[in-house]
Structure 1
Amino acid sequence: MNILITGGAGFIGSNLALKLIDKGHKITVLDSLSPQIHGDNAEETSPLYKSIKDKVNFIKGSVTSKDDWKNAVNGQDVIVHYAAETGTGQSMYEIQKYVDVNINGTAILLDLLANQSHQVKKVIIASSRSIYGEGKYKSAEKGIVYPKHRVSEMMDKGDFEVKYPGCETKLELMATDEESKIHPSSVYGITKQNQEQMIMTVCPTLGIAPVAFRYQNVYGPGQSLKNPYTGILSIFSTQIKNGNGINIFEDGKETRDFVYIDDVVDATILGIESDKANGEVFNVGTGVATDVMKVAKTLIKNYGVEVPVTISGNYRLGDIRHNYADLTKIKSLLGFQPKYTFEQGINEFTKWVNDQEIETDNYAKSIDEMKARGLYK
């Protein structure tokens, strides 16, 4: 098939492109080569871009440009839409940029598909676990509940756990399934929800099969070590490699579902190639919750570099406490099974990081930007 990957020079997109090429597909990539991800002079220095250079039909352009979309969509059978601004914290103060790229960029695509001739048969949209906001919980008093966003008044006192009205006992964390409540707690999450809903709503009216993948925290060799706004594993790795201390937010017990890049690519290819995926929304993760303190300790151990770790009680507005994926649907419909445990994936990731040049640690700058706007406490 002829497959367009927007954001195809990015972390997930480039890995997907290479695997699809190996399977005999012809790949076109539309990517702006954002300096935040690729650094300056990306065409000469970005490892992600260089990994696909001369292997794909590369179009340097933006999803905010209708002309770039027209150029890229021509002749494609499948579109995998990854191009997006990412980062929960940054989205809370660069709101127009996130809306322009994520929502308006997707709207331009759908407008084009609705009003011009094309041969597109399927659109894959990269959604996100962020659309769920806080995860799914069980209450002794009320059964299944979906807590609202946490408030500063409680977190300022060091109470970071989620609460639900009328529940006196501690809530029990559960895996979040695709039928769980959607209530994002950040602008990024809102834009991903909007992208997903537009694709899933409009494409069927055009005779195009939509598929949405709600990715958990994706990591692995190749992810950007330059970007201080997203990717806790890369942020911590850059700090450790620079000999800088790690500041653990909240109490270090907040958890995420970390899913290895190869598993994400495999799941996505199942969605591209299987008709069983058509019209469906899937979680993609490991189904395992891993706390941030374990992340920091594992990275320090693997790198063999001792740096101070501080559990500071700081927090960012817009962050969630817990969320991990229920994989029942993707396992039963597509036969997906993650192959990498957290420990296996981290071993591969840290081996790769050890072979990279040490990047400048710009994380403090990203925190200062949030502090200035009252989003970091």
Structure 2
Amino acid sequence: MKLLVTGAAGKVGQAFLPAFLSAQRFSGWDVVALCNNRTIDAGERVHVVRGSMSDESVIAEALEGVTHVVHLAAVKETPGQAIDVALKGLYLMLERFRVAPDARQFLLLSGDCVVGHIFQDYSAPITEAAPRRSYPGSYALTKVLEEVMLEQYAIQYGLSVTTLRAPWIMEKDDFRYALRLDDTQFGGPAWETLLNEVTLERVRHGGYYPLLKDANGGFLKRNFVHVDDLVEAILLSLDNPQAFGELFHIAMNEPVDYGALGPVLGRSERLEGLEIETPFHSNWLDNTKARKVLGWNPSVDLEELVERAWKYRRGEGDPRIVWYPG
């Protein structure tokens, strides 16, 4: 067996590769890592192919003899790259992979942007049967088109495909910085769109965490997943016939309830909640199918997410990285 991993130098790729290489089940597999301009600490089992996914010759080299693909490469709010990476690159891979004599499985990492995460309102937990309802922006659009393209290659050519939909992926101290109210904040929302200047200046120096309210006035519930749990789901899906032709939601068992942060952060970090009204909707990405079919169960709950994020300390060679803008 031979695995191609795209986006191998990204957040998920850097966590997935060592986990895959250390898994006994995959000990005899060869690995190809495709990346463009980042460094990969590959090791002797991994052959690195460098170049753009929009280059047909690069794709041909990367897919030589490959039986399985884990497609992690993505661009976020960078419209200038969206067509080349998300659409042309995926198309080139699928066109070559569908005629490969040993092709066995193509696994795509997608996101809950496809169903709108906190931008669309749902009256019940969001299952894999929910229609795609993305929010505005190039990233959500490309993920919708990627999922549809993969489905059509399964329908038209009988290709064995698997799609994993993940919400906001956390690693290291990400969650701590996602709750910062100053310029070091990781991700969104942009606080200046929700808070006036006086309030923002008062709280930006520490001591507070954002106690977000949803459009109905309740505490916001938003979906997250730790990268370690996502990696485990990928490993369980890989070369698993029960995953062929399937879509799975890979999220924490329950969304993070911002109202439940108070007891955790107040007790452990002595932070005070700052109530912030938002136009966002509380949603629940249902992971029942992944737990039942794959036997997957996330190990990181809210308390563990907080504990890991606040205990993590970065060394000089471990800077915070913004993997993509947006």
TM-score by length of 1: 0.67
Aligned position for 1:144: none
CA contact (8 A) 2:117 2:283 kept: yes
Aligned position for 1:8: 8
CA contact (8 A) 1:5 1:28 kept: yes
CA contact (8 A) 1:3 1:80 kept: yes
1:278 Cα shift? 0.6
Task: Say which SS state the counterpart of residue 273 (structure 1) adopts.
Answer: coil
Provide the rounded CA distance (Å) in 2 between the counterparts of 1:361 and 1:80. 22
**1:259 partnered with 2:244:** no
CA RMSD between the two structures:
3.5
Provide the rounded CA distance (Å) in 2 between the counterparts of 1:287 and 1:120. 33
How do 1:1-377 residues align onto structure 2 when only pairs under 5 Å count?
A: 1-23=1-23, 24=27, 25-33=29-37, 42-43=38-39, 49-50=40-41, 52-54=42-44, 56-86=46-76, 91=77, 94-114=78-98, 117-133=100-116, 162=121, 173-187=123-137, 188-221=139-172, 233-236=176-179, 239=184, 244=205, 248=210, 251=213, 253-292=219-258, 311=275, 313=277, 321-352=281-312, 354-357=313-316
Aligned position for 2:199: none
Find runs of 4+ consecutive structure 1 residues off by over 6 angstroms: none
Aligned position for 2:193: none
The AA in structure 2 aligned to 1:29 is A
CA contact (8 A) 2:165 2:248 kept: yes
Task: Say which SS state the counterpart of residue 134 (structure 2) adopts.
Answer: coil
Measured at CA, do residues 298 and 13 of structure 1 come closer, stay the same or move farther in structure 2, by a change above 3 Å?
A: farther
CA contact (8 A) 1:126 1:215 kept: yes
1:323 Cα shift? 2.7
CA contact (8 A) 1:259 1:342 kept: no
Q: Which runs of 5+ in 2 are unaligned?
A: 187-203
Provide the rounded CA distance (Å) in 1 between the counterparts of 2:147 and 2:255. 24
How many residues are aligned here?
294
1:209 Cα shift? 0.7
User: Identity of paired residues, percent?
Assistant: 19
Provide the rounded CA distance (Å) in 2 between the counterparts of 1:212 and 1:111. 18
1:190 Cα shift? 1.8
Task: Say which SS state the counterpart of residue 218 (structure 1) adopts.
Answer: strand
TM-score by length of 2: 0.76
